[in-house]
Structure 1
């Protein structure tokens, strides 16, 4: 029998004859057992089991010795092999039993290096792995057959067109790993396993979405792909990439899973910051995967209990669980969400706001649109930091999922040729004839950047339609695609720009029921705000002192430190979903009026949504100069005009109606169903009773575990200025808010500024 020894990677000490300590720079093992300690004290690479039994006779029986040795061997601490005589073998042994076969030189693992940039990484990699005879590194090219266990592809840009051909060639099962050893950020990984991990196409799709400026430039100059020119090769760039790749190759060759399968690392060569990026597999690029089909009209409500989760609304799981499931989508390299950063302005933990970068594909060649996309960010709000994070990442994914992609099933036809029921753009958009007539003048005003008026829809012009589902009738209903998908090619038809895509009614959720409910809440909110805003009628206030939640008083006290007041208006109308507007003004000649809105079937949730949305705007007006004047961190003309010129005195309709008593939240409560699906049906029935149909387009992407829905209810109003006939004129009269309808000229000349 071979002598036994502890692995050379372990420092072995027996203390007091009863305790065994096994230590290295990765682990600490303590065994408090006198029998184990007695056996361990004699294991030195010279004694086999028979010698141990002889020397411990009288202390331990042969069976006890055998049992203790077996335990140490099963744990991977003791082996029967000659001692390691070099650091490389010692390191190999540190992985325990998993690498024993590899250490025994039972086979050679071959590595091919395909260098597209001639940076000598192959030589560097050969040197790094030279201590392991089990690993053979050689250069390869695409002109002949490639016979390697793993191919390392060295590229100057992960969007190099050559990688598309390499990806196609390796789809038959060749494992390969990408690296970029040049530039400010060195990339290592992902390791691509065809049929198992994301392929290069999935990676490239996400990278392109994060390179908006380069896509704009290449579209203008005619280059074939968005090339980011590396700033050169840093002194340690190749070595950094080599080190990570060498460790990954070693792990894979030794039979371990490695760290880069479907994942990559970026290393900033200036700051030494390393980040992990998950490369998500997109079924769109799998020819035979049925999950690649977008089912836009599939809206099947479940039977999920409606869990009350504070301002987050009714959810099927906690915000923490949602964030942990989605966090891997945050990446500035290949994420659906490019960043998630806090906007907090207080240290007391009262306000929680996050900004999440959402990635839109380029929409045409409009420079203003590019500029807006670069600044584009989704807002996250909540009463807790986790809720604000979840809100931000979910809104960013909602926007990302709303971007048109070629795999979306569509119908190309004219309105007058339709044989299926569809939503007419004019019935949904609610612009007036006068607005269409004056659109050029309106659109030139920089204050109307967000609220541009489109062209009149041509019913004889072919456009694309996307299938949605009517929750009112159950029928499939077609929706003009450009109304629901950001960046749709129909939006590039400058002579027929019949709509401007916006986010109203778009929402996300852990399940489709959540997404539809949140989308409905937004539709209700916009409509209630529009009826009040454009009529400029004072509405009742809420008695904040009656709200039995300490958060309200905490917010009031915090805002008071900035010389600001808070009040909340009840905007409820003829429909059954409460809506609130939370306001704050500064005690100053420039009041910097801030407002946040919230709607939900549960008035308590709606109320706190309005408050947390109010908090979301605080970072933009918090800073002041030495004279006490606001330093605005926003450059939108409409927003600046609102903050700098509007006051409670100039617009008294933003204050509580002094002629009616303050309301309580309890007075707005009603019995609600107990499941998400039934609450959605409650809203659908409520809208149907008012003569309006609810249509949903399922925008869920197959590569993201978050349901996304676009809810459309023709007849409900946007809070942007759209003055066509309908609810903003009729409902205030029906409810007795005013005696006669507004004329179009009397409608508030400005829309909500965000």
Structure 2
């Protein structure tokens, strides 16, 4: 009997215009439409000989065979002798104290097995047990029905068994919150629903043997469930490992998101921690303790947090994390196996610093995701009843850039920044707060929140510039402002290729320099440039040149305290160099225009730093806002702190500041070097540095 390839029965399949989606238990896979014919054949059975038909070239056959082998290695497809075996449903008899959710309607349900497990455990008679294939909203009705006994939910499909803590019939809010976060961690399913698919769950008949082998362990698992601890316990039938996943119970009582986001009043907030490259209200250790419960691929905002293995570059700790993000039917980004998850990295001199940095970067991006309870208004800009900034004001592209974005043959049309020029169409708007005028200002809704389902994204989309997380609104606001200032200084230096002075490393701690030299000294020459401009807050560029190849790498830092700015730049350089072997980047270092602007110039004087350090974060924020106001740049603050996240998140807008991504319609990009005496004449869009700084 010939060997045939089949999609594993652990996956249900969903054909779309883009390709075939495979949905499994806690996993998913996408097969691009170029492989759709072979994917459709895999559903019923495909032999190796089918790949080498007369109508397929040898090259195409080899490519398809390689794809098959990759899918086989990933467990997506399996090899069988003969015909595919169909799952057989068991009689769905229920028992007292045992309920079956709607999600199990089409699945193989070993009800008798689970009755025996429950009756053998200490939970028997004490709790109502609900069996399910998915923790979804259908569970709420079953939990509310059980008035006399709390309900415990057991997900019985797949290789991982889940067990919740007991829920009383009055805990609707807690159940909804848990289901909402689990749903956020399954964006693949949400995307399929947006396409109109009704989801079903594959038959797991093959799991019955594994269940029987682990029956005693499952009984023990139920016996050990902590009835008060807010966790989900998982048990893997394959390796018999248990894991506990924290359920986030944090909530800001009485929190009105739409009011808090648009009406922000800063308060006095004092620096209590000044070590390790920062000005914070509490130590990184304390912040980490608060945020660690948010890490879980099932119940967490953050899927994981792990240290990057950097081999020889081990002196600088690098941590990476990730979060899940949704796509919609009309999303700009096309579906792929990478489109539903976003990675982040943390920087810092110590492990704790780097961990907190990675977690906070993840949260500032996750919290920016559109949730559905944000209330915008729909209007043409010309009919708004408050002052407003348009899409172009916030992302001032040139006419040439707009043309390239909308020319399918041009490479810029494929960039995530690609958009159409806004010409007063009816779109969605949201209020931010002017820090100087203390009044609301309208900005485009799709610049405030990411991953929205709205067609307005064709005029411009959210990006993370100016986003920050902090223990307080003031802490986050200062960090967001510093990021805007850093990107502005980078853009003016890079695109105008202006000569800047060195920043002396003698001002930095010996321990930091020793660590950096351990990371860089053998293979790189490196130095610091002071690229501060008329904003008056120190911005430092750390430049590294590889001795063997001559290629350059960069790190940047910004802070009111110049030593902290330099520390941040140097640490970032070390981390980016250390991580480059593990990560690819759309910025091609080999194409850098190697001019004098990359080198320090002794005959050039640094710009005076007009903003002074204060122990009060509010004082520093207001000083920066006033300085920017003298440059005719208004600072806007959006507070998008989420009610269920124990850390604050904000986005700062400063229309008129430059972005390091090329926004070539901004007059400041060309005028500032002349104003400061760095250039005699302004450059043009054709004479500036032509390499976009997409880093």
TM-score w.r.t. the length of structure 1 is: 0.72
Q: For residue 161 of structure 2, give the secondary structure of its aligned residue in structure 1.
A: strand
Query: Equivalent residue for 2:117?
Result: 125
The separation in 2 between residues aligned to 1:247 and 1:151, in whole angstroms, is 17
CA deviations on 1:228-278 (whole Å, 9 max, x unpaired) are 876852645473444322333xxxxxxxxx356431012233333322212
Measure how far apart 1:443 and its partner are.
8.1
Residue 399 of structure 1, aligned match among 351, 358, 365: 365
Measure how far apart 1:660 and its partner are.
3.8
Between 1:236-245 and 1:521-530, the stretch displaced more is 236-245
Contact 1:602 1:669 in 2 (8 A): no
The separation in 1 between residues aligned to 2:344 and 2:205, in whole angstroms, is 31
Between 1:230-239 and 1:117-126, the stretch displaced more is 230-239
Residue 98 of structure 2, aligned match among 85, 99, 113: 113
Q: 2:563 matched to 1:604?
A: yes
1:242-257 pair list within 5 angstroms: 242-248=219-225
Measure how far apart 1:515 and its partner are.
0.7
Residue 483 of structure 2, aligned match among 515, 518, 522: 522
Measure how far apart 1:293 and its partner are.
3.7
Contact 1:198 1:281 in 2 (8 A): no
The separation in 2 between residues aligned to 1:227 and 1:507, in whole angstroms, is 39
1:146-545 pair list within 5 angstroms: 150-159=127-136, 162-166=138-142, 169=145, 175-193=150-168, 199-220=174-195, 222-225=196-199, 232-233=206-207, 235-237=209-211, 239=215, 240-248=217-225, 258-259=226-227, 261-281=229-249, 290-291=254-255, 293-294=257-258, 295-346=260-311, 350-363=315-328, 364-365=330-331, 368=334, 370-374=336-340, 376-441=342-407, 444-445=410-411, 450=415, 452-459=417-424, 461-490=425-454, 492-493=455-456, 497-545=458-506
Measure how far apart 1:176 and its partner are.
1.5
Q: For residue 610 of structure 1, give the secondary structure of its aligned residue in structure 2.
A: helix
The separation in 1 between residues aligned to 2:312 and 2:503, in whole angstroms, is 28
Measure how far apart 1:280 and its partner are.
2.2
Contact 1:310 1:605 in 2 (8 A): no
Q: 2:639 matched to 1:654?
A: no
Measure how far apart 1:136 and its partner are.
5.0
Measure how far apart 1:407 and its partner are.
1.0
The separation in 2 between residues aligned to 1:242 and 1:592, in whole angstroms, is 60
Measure how far apart 1:361 and its partner are.
2.2
Measure how far apart 1:688 and its partner are.
1.1
TM-score w.r.t. the length of structure 2 is: 0.78
The separation in 2 between residues aligned to 1:549 and 1:711, in whole angstroms, is 35
Query: Equivalent residue for 2:74?
Result: none
Query: Equivalent residue for 1:53?
Result: none
The separation in 2 between residues aligned to 1:368 and 1:658, in whole angstroms, is 49
Residue 617 of structure 1, aligned match among 570, 573, 576: 576
Measure how far apart 1:193 and its partner are.
3.4
Q: 2:517 matched to 1:556?
A: yes
Structure 2 CA distance for partners of 1:548 and 1:397, relative to 1, 3 Å: closer
Structure 2 CA distance for partners of 1:246 and 1:602, relative to 1, 3 Å: same
Measure how far apart 1:352 and its partner are.
1.2
Q: For residue 178 of structure 1, give the secondary structure of its aligned residue in structure 2.
A: strand
The separation in 2 between residues aligned to 1:122 and 1:588, in whole angstroms, is 64
Query: Equivalent residue for 1:644?
Result: 590
Contact 2:310 2:579 in 1 (8 A): no
Contact 2:234 2:244 in 1 (8 A): yes
Measure how far apart 1:699 and its partner are.
0.6
Measure how far apart 1:603 and its partner are.
1.1
CA deviations on 1:470-495 (whole Å, 9 max, x unpaired) are 111100112211011001232x35xx
Contact 1:442 1:452 in 2 (8 A): no
Query: Equivalent residue for 1:579?
Result: 539
User: Which has the greater radius of gyration?
Assistant: 1
Structure 2 CA distance for partners of 1:520 and 1:164, relative to 1, 3 Å: same
Contact 2:482 2:558 in 1 (8 A): yes
The separation in 2 between residues aligned to 1:423 and 1:349, in whole angstroms, is 46
Structure 2 CA distance for partners of 1:243 and 1:645, relative to 1, 3 Å: same
RMSD after superposition: 2.9
The separation in 2 between residues aligned to 1:293 and 1:611, in whole angstroms, is 38
Q: For residue 487 of structure 2, give the secondary structure of its aligned residue in structure 1.
A: helix
The separation in 2 between residues aligned to 1:516 and 1:230, in whole angstroms, is 50
Measure how far apart 1:525 and its partner are.
0.6
The separation in 2 between residues aligned to 1:566 and 1:271, in whole angstroms, is 48
Measure how far apart 1:518 and its partner are.
0.6
Contact 2:499 2:604 in 1 (8 A): no
Contact 2:143 2:169 in 1 (8 A): no
Q: For residue 387 of structure 1, give the secondary structure of its aligned residue in structure 2.
A: helix
Structure 2 CA distance for partners of 1:745 and 1:302, relative to 1, 3 Å: same
Q: For residue 315 of structure 1, give the secondary structure of its aligned residue in structure 2.
A: coil
Contact 1:283 1:292 in 2 (8 A): no
Q: For residue 674 of structure 1, give the secondary structure of its aligned residue in structure 2.
A: coil
The separation in 2 between residues aligned to 1:596 and 1:348, in whole angstroms, is 16
Structure 2 unaligned spans of 5+: 1-94
The separation in 2 between residues aligned to 1:406 and 1:333, in whole angstroms, is 21
Structure 2 CA distance for partners of 1:723 and 1:670, relative to 1, 3 Å: closer
Query: Equivalent residue for 2:659?
Result: 718
Contact 1:381 1:391 in 2 (8 A): yes
